[in-house]
Structure formats: C-alpha cells, structure tokens
Amino acid sequence: MKIEFIAVRELRMHLKEPFETSSSITRERRVLLLEVRSDGLSGWSEITVDEEPFYNSETTDTAWHILRDFIVPLTLGKIVETAQEARTLMSRIRGHEMARAGLENALWDIESQQKGIPLHKLLGGSLTEIPCGVSLGIQPAVELVIAKIEHELAAGYQRIKLKIKPGSDIGMVKKVRKIFPNVKLMVDANSAYALQDAELLREFDSCDLLMIEQPLAWDELYQHAKLQALILTPICLDECIHNAHHARAAIELGACMVINVKLGRVGGHSEAKRVHDVCRECKIPVWCGGMLESGVGRVHNIAMSTLPGFILPGDVSASKRYWDEDIIEPEVEVTTRGTIKVPESPGLGYSVRRDRIERLTVRSETWQV
C-alpha cells in the first residue's frame, strides 16, 4: 500500500443530549475524520479526541497539529505491506496515541478491502455478534437515572454504566441497585477520587457492581494497586492504559482486574490487539470503551470487539443514542438481545455518507504525493 493521499476534516455534530462526566460536559462534538487513499481505495477512521484535555492530554487541535507537522511527513508517499507497519513509521512520535491511531486505522480499512475480507476477520476476530452496554452521563436527579435505565433495558442493552462524581455516587448507586437488583451494573469515576476516599469507595462493595472504572488519577497505577487491595469491587482501568506495557504493569501490580480498551487511547488496532493479548494471557477480561464516536469510529470499535477476549459488554451502542443522523449507512443498530451484528462485507462493512460528511465539515486539509 502506498500512502498517496491523506485528508483530515473537522465535523460539528450535535449530541442528542449533553453527556456529563466527572471531568466535563459535552454538548457538541468536533469530530475529526481521516480519509487515506492507496491503490484506488479509500480508508476511513476517526481521531477520537475531545476538544479539551480533560479526559486525556490530546485535543482536537493537538491532533491536527501532530498530523500535519509529524504524521503526514513521516507517512505520506511511503509504502507499507500491512496497516500494522504504519505504527513503525510513526514510532518516533511519543504519545499522541489518538492522532496515530487515526492514520493506522484508516490503513486497516484499506488493507481489509484489498484482501476482500471484513475488517474484523483481518484483526483476528471471531464473534459474529457483540454484546452491548450503555454509558449514562451524570444526571441532576436519581429519578432521571432510573428512567434512563428503564429505557435502555427496554431497548435490550445488557449492562448499565453510571458515571459518578463526588456528591453523585454511593447514595445514587444504592438507590439504583435497590430498584434494579439483577441488572449488570458498573460505575465510572473518570479519576474523580483519591486514595484517601478508600472508605467511601469501599461502600460500593455492597452494591454488587461488575467493576468500578478509573476511580483514581489518570496516570497512577501504584495507587490503584493500593486501592484494589482495600476494596472487593474489581477495578477497571481506562485512562491509565496507553499500551500493552501499561496493561502488563497494571496487571502485575494488581492495579486492576479488568481493562477497558479504546482504540484511540492505545494508538490503533495493532496496539489494541497487543493489549487484548496480554489481558487474555493473564486471564483479565477486556471490553471496548467509547468516546461518543460518530459512525466511523463506532464501526472500528465493532470490529475490534470481535476479538475473543472481549467477553464483557462494551460501551458500543446504537447510532441513534447519540445522533439524529449518523454519517454511515446503515446506522449502527442494536438487536433486542442487546447485541450488534457484525457485518460480513469487506472493509468496515458500512458505507460512509460523503454527502452528510460534506455538509457537516467546518474545515479540512489535504496532502497528496
């Protein structure tokens, strides 16, 4: 594959509802899409950054800068045998995983089209349907949380993740658990607590949670290990894990019992596979996290979620939960069993709606050889 053309564009997409976490509120997404062309084929990916560096250090604008000033010069005009080799081309770049994932994942789309197989097969996936959960943002009142859970369970979703923050945590979750005694339930703190809050966090042990996601600092494995020794609820790490070495260190330290894999956060499909492999070897379950993606990022998540270690329902849910109109066709739909059927056609298995993408684009930049 010769990397002949790279185009980045920013789309403005309004979320149907604001999404609140302990670290930010998102109303509108500045979606970054990449299109890469090689040998007459187009590959698509999403750079899953937020506008602000409140989840991780990258932003919409840093990703654009890294792409233009470093990724394009290192990759444009180069020939790679496989998408995975793109990671090596970019290996001098430290950090900026989401920006690098963008380039690599678009090449995975091209490689799977070239080979005439679905992306999930190329990745080594085996599931034909993936189990789905939802992530519910922080709500102003517990009654709203309860109504939303009822709605999502009626749609078939298999597990509910509640965002928590100090002041909207144990009391809220205890009420929810009382009303839904059998639901697969978990919480995500997005780093809102400190080790000194161990007593409060230990109260979740009575709520029969699948896990508590990222309770402590985004860059702290050691303190998560100390916390895990004090509580029974399994800790799942999200923000802390940027590659397979982090995953192994976290597991060996006892800092977590579950890992959330996000394609952007770990730098693309090839590293996501490595994180998955380390976890499988260590018998640590993984699941696919979400970044409020447009359809383009979402379908890459679906492909990754077919790998055999993804045994827990992920945060990959239907397009219509986020958007009035998605930018892929068909939109991502969830069955009444709370699953997404994995498409069997070559490449992403969904088509990109260029007309809608054009309409939503606010800026773009293109490079070609």
Q: What residues line the site for ligand OSB (CB under 6 A)?
A: 55, 135, 188, 190, 238, 289-292, 315
**Which of the choices Mg ion, ligand OSB, none does residue 131 contact, using the CB cut-off of 5 to 8 A by kind?**
none
The residues with which 161 forms a beta bridge, in sequence order, are: 135, 186
Tokens 């894999």 locate to: 261
Q: Indicate the residue among 122 and 284 with the shorter CB distance to ligand OSB.
A: 284
Q: Indicate the residue among 8 and 160 with the shorter CB distance to Mg ion.
A: 160
Tokens 């890992």 locate to: 259
Task: In whole angstroms, give the CA distance from residue 151 to residue 155.
Answer: 6
Annotation says 163 is catalytic: yes
What minimum distance in Å lies between the beta carbon of 322 and ligand OSB?
Answer: 7
Catalog residues that contact Mg ion under the rule CB under 5 A: 188, 213, 238
Of 78, 175, 226, 262, catalytic: 262
* Other Cβ atoms within 10 Å of 69 Cβ, number: 9
Cβ(97)–Cβ(63) below 8 Å = no
Task: In whole angstroms, give the CA distance from residue 57 to residue 39.
Answer: 35
Element (H, E) at 133: strand 133-136
Q: Indicate the residue among 98 and 107 with the shorter CB distance to ligand OSB.
A: 98
Task: In whole angstroms, give the CA distance from residue 144 to residue 140.
Answer: 7
Burial 21-39, CB ≥16 within 10 A → b, else e: bbbeebeebbbbbbbbbbe
Cβ(162)–Cβ(152) below 8 Å = no
Of 163, 226, 273, 283, catalytic: 163
Q: Indicate the residue among 23 and 38 with the shorter CB distance to ligand OSB.
A: 23
Cα dihedral sign, 291-293-296-301: positive
Task: In whole angstroms, give the CA distance from residue 209 to residue 195.
Answer: 19
Angle (nearest 5°) at CA 180 between 175 and 181: 100
What minimum distance in Å lies between the beta carbon of 213 and ligand OSB?
Answer: 7
Residue 283 falls in which region: left (phi positive, over 0), alpha (psi -120 to 50) or beta: left
Position of minimal CB gap to ligand OSB: 290
Q: Indicate the residue among 25 and 369 with the shorter CB distance to ligand OSB.
A: 25
Position of minimal CB gap to Mg ion: 238
**Which of the choices Mg ion, ligand OSB, none does residue 55 contact, using the CB cut-off of 5 to 8 A by kind?**
ligand OSB
Q: Indicate the residue among 87 and 159 with the shorter CB distance to Mg ion.
A: 159
What minimum distance in Å lies between the beta carbon of 188 and ligand OSB?
Answer: 5
In one-letter notation, the amino acid at residue 72 is V
Cis omega (within 30 of 0) for bond into 330: yes
* Other Cβ atoms within 10 Å of 181 Cβ, number: 8
What minimum distance in Å lies between the beta carbon of 317 and ligand OSB?
Answer: 6
Q: Give, as one character, the DSSP assignment of residue 68.
A: I
Q: Give, as one character, the DSSP assignment of residue 196.
A: G
What minimum distance in Å lies between the beta carbon of 237 and Mg ion?
Answer: 9
**Which of the choices ligand OSB, Mg ion, none does residue 314 contact, using the CB cut-off of 5 to 8 A by kind?**
none
**Which of the choices Mg ion, ligand OSB, none does residue 263 contact, using the CB cut-off of 5 to 8 A by kind?**
none
What minimum distance in Å lies between the beta carbon of 260 and ligand OSB?
Answer: 7
Cβ(218)–Cβ(191) below 8 Å = yes
Annotation says 121 is catalytic: no
**Which of the choices Mg ion, ligand OSB, none does residue 291 contact, using the CB cut-off of 5 to 8 A by kind?**
ligand OSB
**Which of the choices Mg ion, ligand OSB, none does residue 315 contact, using the CB cut-off of 5 to 8 A by kind?**
ligand OSB
Tokens at 52, concatenated: 């602000």
Q: Indicate the residue among 87 and 96 with the shorter CB distance to ligand OSB.
A: 96
**Which of the choices ligand OSB, Mg ion, none does residue 35 contact, using the CB cut-off of 5 to 8 A by kind?**
none
What minimum distance in Å lies between the beta carbon of 191 and ligand OSB?
Answer: 9
- List, by residue number, the catalytic residues: 163, 262
